[in-house]
Structure 1
Amino acid sequence: MKRAMIWTCALALGFSACGGGADKEQTTTSNTEKTTTMQTSEGKAVVYQVFTRLFGNTNTTNKPWGTIEENGVGKFNDFTDKALEEIKDLGVTHVWYTGVPHHAVITDYTKYGISNDDPDVVKGRAGSPYAVKDYYNVNPDLAEDPAKRLEEFKALVDRTHKHGMKVIIDIVPNHVARKYESLNKEAEGFGVSDDTSVDYKKDNNFYYIPGKSFKVPASLDNYKPLGGDEHALSDGKFDENPAKWTGNGSREAQPHFHDWYETVKINYGVRPDGTYDFSALPEGFDKKPAADHYAFWQDKEVPSSWTKFRDVALYWTKMGVDGFRFDMAEMVPVEFWSYMNSSIKNANPDAFLVAEVYNPAQYRNYIHLGKMDYLYDKVELYDTLKHIMQGHGSTDNLAPIQDGLADIEHHMLHFLENHDEQRIAAPEFAGDMMKGKPAMVVSALISTSPTMIYFGQEVGEPAAEDAGFGTNSRTTIFDYFGVPHHQRWVNDGKFDGGQLTEEEKGLRDFYVRLLNFTKNSSALMGEYADIHAFNRQNAADYGDKLHSFVRWDDQEKLIVVNNFDAAQGAEVEMQLPAEIVKAWGLKDGDKVTMMDQLYQQISADLKVENGVGKFNVKLAPLGSFIFKL
């Protein structure tokens, strides 16, 4: 996005103004081109993350450590035309189907040629989706007929496309299951050709501890695999000789219980001393497009693991998958991402690539050098909003985040829930699903970046039950289970919300209204300016539980006002700084009626006096307005 050239960012004047997603290095011409491209296409992307195993499960037994027979499991086929249409109507553009690649599970599928997994190195009874066992197939739990599981997933991809949405799945390049065994005869599995007599070799896929065998971690807090149920392989042992490094980098033959002991670390040509065994990107490649990165790697010798993961990504791309969410991307060298992502973009220029990265100092490297489209905005925007929702954070901290990310704001994926985070409604987080409403308005509207929600978030799921492995407050990713609030929306497969409470229906209606507005508003792909600081200085009764900003382009002008206070409403004479008044072409004496875009029931009159705009607003507790001039 081009920056507003009329005035500069000026926190000293009590406001900040920053354009959309323009990179600092780009010229005014390229920014203008980017603005034109983005504003003539559909608006903001909306990602719906769904834990595939749980989505369609209508079994309400919810026995801790329950078996697949006891607690049930969701299937690919549960995403019916009706279910997908309801997801689409929520405002969704992309569905992230979490837990699709075949990961280690406890259920016996030996009659399908799949070896059994050892409970001593599997977390939960259903297994972690981030301990992938076979990248060329899908989780057999998710198929009505495990022998045809890949065909059932292909049909889901086709159905999702038919309903006008794109498909995202996970790739976890940092680690794989301790017992990786691909059934694909056309692709060599990880580690098959490794020289296990040495700790490191460039083309080894794993790191080894020669002379030592793997030992299962000592259990903590009386933990027992499968909750203590008997199992033929649950004996405190796992045959791995020599031992491999563990996924989180532990070099011990017996990792700690809190290490990622169910996984092994992938070797990307990084020697044990931290030096690299591959080519570095030339100076200035942070400004080069993906096509140049692709060309650069064509004559370079790269480690075996690079080509194997590239082939995995291209396999799923060819099948029709539209993008990937990359787990713990910053644990893998950025040069690999240049290689990987430029290969994906060469096959599908529109691929949607999202990375889990938590180090703000590395954001620009993973975007510009690694060619990621989007990164989690977790440690800045999410964490700040979480503190505000919990009642011990200030809205004064929001504008500086946007200022600091102004050059890459379009690349920062916004969310309030995902599979790693606590549910908003959980007592351990906010304890009230409604406290997420103003935060969601900020998260979805403050930037040009995509917005993501996690299934069940839109009906206030609190994740209150004990599923087995792990703790409540986060919906389990390790066990067979039902998701109670979400199940009330599923309504025995009708997907009509028939069992929701009135409060839950109201929350989902809020999400439908908000997300569809973000998807269709052109202003949200245009300019942004903070007016919160200006109102903190100049508007009476405007405290740090309120928050406001403006978004605009040539077609729309929006003023967004939020109240994060769950106990008290607010009545304020809001003020629009002179710089915004001028940029919007308003003048003294103008009186403009504004209509709220969420519920189309509240209006306000903006009056311009002495160069400053003013309007009165009355906000309910946790209330929000999106006023459109």
Structure 2
Amino acid sequence: MIKKTILIAGISLILLTAACKTAALPMNTAKENTKVENKIVVYQIFTRLFGNKNAANKPWGTIEENGVGKFNDFTAKALKEIKDLGANYIWYTGVPHHALVRDYTSIGISNDDPDVVKGRAGSPYAVKDYYNVNPDLAVNPANRLVEFEALITRTHDAGLKLLIDIVPNHIARKYEGRNNPAGVTDFGANDDVTVEYKRDNNFYYIANSKFEVPDTVKPLNGEANPLSDGKFTEIPAKWTGNGSRMAKPDKNDWYETVKVNYGIRPDGSKDFPELPAGFDTKSVAEHFEFWQGKDVPDSWKKFKDIALFWTAKGVDGFRYDMAEMVPYEFWSYMNSAIKMKNPDAFLLAEVYNPKEYRNYIRLGKMDYLYDKVETYDKLKEVIQGKSLPDGLSDIQKGMKDIEQHMLQFLDNHDEQRLSSPEFAGSPEKGKPLMVVSTTISSAPTMIYFGQEVGEAGNENGGFGTHSRTSIFDYVGVPSHQRWMNNGKFDGGQLTDKEKALRDFYKRLLNFSNSSSALMGEFQEIQTVNRQSTVGFDPGIYAFTRWSDTQKLIVVSNFSWITTSSFELKIPADVIGKWNLKDGDYTITDQLYRNSTIQLKVVKGEGKAQIKIAPSESFIYQL
């Protein structure tokens, strides 16, 4: 049984001083030419699902049955609402042309084999052609790139920047570069397929073998299809995307993809120039200069050309899938080239090994990495009653030198929805997690479309199941569709609770990206209150943030069933750093403007009487 004292939901209290002026973030080693002065908010969108108005949600349904969103669904009104929510960037997920089960042969696209496609709509991480976009997303598929270029323009016109995915570790089993620019050869076109490894091969090969479809794979749920016969011709077989060296991978392997060779020999040794000692302190320009004239593997050149192709079209940055499966020397090579073209490019990497964080930031020249296995996982444990929140302090202490690089999120396309029973259980229980995630560091905050209206991902799309909004199927997203309101984007069909939740997100995100303190210092006040404050329950977590002009206290109560009252202590060292004199300070809520309390400073120590209701949040300003 979970103890009542660690049941979790919450409230957050934020104390501000008066005048607010932006404080500069300490110089970012990955993008020295960009001064990040305010919190960045990234709004992730699964592009295929955003504009879909169809609510049928038939498992394994076709486009005709379940519908699909288009680039044109991102109207000026939709983009304005996203901007007004507090976003600075949109990450358009699933834009590059990936393998899918739909006939586009009339416009020169070959059919994909369902035996090596996950779902009907396909995985966005099995890219089939990097020089074009998903034909499903266009009103006129033959004109799909032009339609996406128009979306780039509309996004910029709305005052937003945009990211798309690059998936460097693997590509679709049937990659066909039908749109390669002049001089660009296809992946594998010049490979020596008689050997397992050669540095300039794009793939690894399993000699004297042919690829076999994994057992128990049932494409399209058993639906008849001319290409669905349990076979896929690939001779010799290639290594699978997750590194499997079996000609017949397991059904849980990334069997729809093949692994790209970056000059890592099968024994793990490196077959390319390595960065000299001390390059973790070198600038982007110095990294770029290092690679000039160096002989590098062919796959490096191919992916650099892909990134620069999209940069030239106005894409403002990239989210790199499974970046830690690719050597950081390659990232130095490609990211420095991107930054020389666009010093402000936003480069976000999916990396899950904390021991490698600094290598990918300092040597790989990444701007931001997922803070998944530390802050995200800890918050999930806390809200599920499996852990106390105190460990958040150790996480922040351990990442002090890189905290500005560790992107915070609670929801994305890979993870269980925050509001799902498998995670927080309700949107309200997710509120204190959102406040802590947003305010604990100076790094960007990311939310996933529908999160702000409590989308729980309850649908079973077919290949994808409940708790995650399926990225493999044609589905609708019910809570988001109510906000979309048949393309009006005005929240007209939202319930009162959903409207209130979106209002909470809007207030919090807009506060965060205008707060100088959230780009400043962090100090926990957890320990002193845990040790000596009566009523400071085990589910409460407290910390401070400040700049020269703004002082914040964040208090979160993750207990979701109890209203608590206690006298919060602000220790003398914090009061001293804030230069507060003894006396009483009236502090007024800024999030909802419905509460005023007193901060009393006596003999250099601060105290404030706090009453915390489940899932309640306040922002108090001096």
Give the TM-score, by structure 2 length. 0.94
Alignment of 1:185-334 (within 5 A): 185=180, 186=182, 187-219=184-216, 223-334=217-328
- Tell me which amino acid in the other structure corresponds to 1:563: N
Alignment of 1:216-615 (within 5 A): 216-219=213-216, 223-588=217-582, 590-615=583-608
- Tell me which amino acid in the other structure corresponds to 2:314: G
- Tell me which amino acid in the other structure corresponds to 1:242: P
Of all paired residues, the percent bearing the same amino acid is: 64
Does the 8 A contact of 1:394 with 1:544 survive in 2? yes
Alpha-carbon offset, residue 196 of structure 1 = 0.7
SS in 2 for 1:559: strand
- C-alpha separation in 2, matches of 1:378 and 1:369: 21
Alpha-carbon offset, residue 549 of structure 1 = 1.2
Cα deviation 1:558-581 (Å, max 9, x = unaligned)? 111221111111111111000011
Cα deviation 1:197-253 (Å, max 9, x = unaligned)? 11111110000012100000001xxx5211111100000000100100000000000
Alpha-carbon offset, residue 396 of structure 1 = 0.9
Alignment of 1:85-100 (within 5 A): 85-100=80-95
1:127 pairs with 2:126: no
- C-alpha separation in 2, matches of 1:410 and 1:425: 27
Alpha-carbon offset, residue 524 of structure 1 = 0.9
- Tell me which amino acid in the other structure corresponds to 2:192: D
- C-alpha separation in 1, matches of 2:588 and 2:397: 28
| Residue number in structure 1 paired with 2:3 | none
- C-alpha separation in 1, matches of 2:150 and 2:527: 51
Alpha-carbon offset, residue 628 of structure 1 = 2.4
- Tell me which amino acid in the other structure corresponds to 1:454: Y
| Residue number in structure 2 paired with 1:11 | none
- C-alpha separation in 1, matches of 2:255 and 2:406: 31
- Tell me which amino acid in the other structure corresponds to 1:571: S
- C-alpha separation in 2, matches of 1:79 and 1:470: 25
Does the 8 A contact of 1:293 with 1:339 survive in 2? yes
Alpha-carbon offset, residue 22 of structure 1 = 4.8
- C-alpha separation in 1, matches of 2:35 and 2:188: 44
Does the 8 A contact of 2:29 with 2:362 survive in 1? no
1:105 pairs with 2:110: no
User: Which of 617-626 and 410-419 deviates more?
Assistant: 617-626
The runs of at least 4 consecutive aligned structure 1 residues that moved more than 4 Å come to: 19-26
Alpha-carbon offset, residue 177 of structure 1 = 0.1
- Tell me which amino acid in the other structure corresponds to 2:584: K
- C-alpha separation in 2, matches of 1:465 and 1:553: 44
Q: How many residues align?
A: 598
- C-alpha separation in 2, matches of 1:199 and 1:24: 40
Change (3 A) 1:422 1:342: same
Which one has more relative contact order, counting CA pairs under 8 Å at least 6 apart?
A: 2
Alpha-carbon offset, residue 425 of structure 1 = 1.6
User: Which of 497-506 and 548-557 deviates more?
Assistant: 548-557
Alpha-carbon offset, residue 319 of structure 1 = 0.2
Cα deviation 1:238-290 (Å, max 9, x = unaligned)? 01001000000000000000000000000000111111110010000000011
Alignment of 1:139-150 (within 5 A): 139-150=134-145
Does the 8 A contact of 2:241 with 2:255 survive in 1? yes
SS in 2 for 1:520: coil
| Residue number in structure 1 paired with 2:9 | none
Alpha-carbon offset, residue 20 of structure 1 = 9.5
- Tell me which amino acid in the other structure corresponds to 2:198: K
- Tell me which amino acid in the other structure corresponds to 1:607: K
Cα deviation 1:333-382 (Å, max 9, x = unaligned)? 01000001001101100000000000000000000000000000000000
- C-alpha separation in 2, matches of 1:135 and 1:597: 46
Give the TM-score, by structure 1 length. 0.93
Unaligned runs of 5+ in 2: 1-22
- Tell me which amino acid in the other structure corresponds to 1:322: D
- C-alpha separation in 1, matches of 2:381 and 2:69: 34
Unaligned runs of 5+ in 1: 1-18
Does the 8 A contact of 2:418 with 2:425 survive in 1? yes
Alpha-carbon offset, residue 527 of structure 1 = 1.3
Does the 8 A contact of 2:210 with 2:235 survive in 1? yes
Alpha-carbon offset, residue 71 of structure 1 = 0.4
- Tell me which amino acid in the other structure corresponds to 2:468: R
